[in-house]
Amino acid sequence: MGAGSSQDMSVVEIPATARHSATLIFLHGLGDTGHGWAEHFRALKLKHVKCICPTASMQSVTLNGGLKMTSWFDIRGLSPDSPEDEEGIKEASQKLKDLVDKEESEGIPSNRVVIGGFSQGGAVALYTAFTMSKPLAGVIALSSWMPLNKQFPAVVKGNQTTPVLQCHGTADHVVPFEWGSLTAKLVSSFNSSHELKTYPGVMHSSCPQEMIDVKEFLSRHLDTE
């Protein structure tokens, strides 16, 4: 486990098992770490794809009574009109952009990099993808939502044709399926390559079919030349 782009962020890396020609950067959800997701992606056997799974720093989370836990930004409520931690969201987004820049400095162009995440991590990935001008290979958002959504599409800078895979369980009570639907509607209004896959009865978690769909998406958009 090496140092990340910030002193308060650690990174788990799954190296490519064949010639490294593409990279996946995936952010975990609230209170989690990068380790579990790294093992998920190791199991997918992506061969030429390096997987980077950072762990967020510890910070107080208003939603959980101020308890400290790994978090990309503060969550102040779970209703659509709850105030948002704009500064924290933008800081987390910059960390993700820094990781993309680091891959570029090591020879992997941004259009061979997929960014994604689960729940809060997916929120950071969605926000980042459309507020950066560098082209990405794809975006994956699992059980997630678009933060600072009222600022869109005015803040969009790029990736309007970049493939986006959004996945959501219909029984999710943490990030309600309705949020996923509204996010899909918003993103598809300024991105022409968006798809939403739904999983009946799945709560706020991943499922085997979702990981099959993620692998298919990665294989399709990070295929070796």
Sheet with 22-27: strands ordered across: 2-3, 10-14, 49-55, 22-27, 113-118, 138-142, 164-169, 194-199
Furthest C-alpha separation in the chain: 50
Q: Taking phi first (over 0 means left), then psi (-120 to 50 degrees means alpha), and beta for anything else, what does residue 224 get?
A: beta
Whether residue 204 lies in the annotated active site: yes
Burial-class residue 168 by CB neighbours within 10 Å (0-12, 13-18, 19+).
Answer: buried
**Which one of 20, 35, 48, 204 is the catalytic residue?**
204
**Which one of 71, 93, 119, 206 is the catalytic residue?**
119
Whether residue 101 lies in the annotated active site: no
**Which one of 172, 194, 206, 213 is the catalytic residue?**
172
Burial-class residue 95 by CB neighbours within 10 Å (0-12, 13-18, 19+).
Answer: buried
The answer to whether residues 114 and 25 touch, using CB atoms and an 8 Å cutoff, is yes
Whether residue 172 lies in the annotated active site: yes
Question: Which residues are tagged catalytic?
Answer: 119, 172, 204
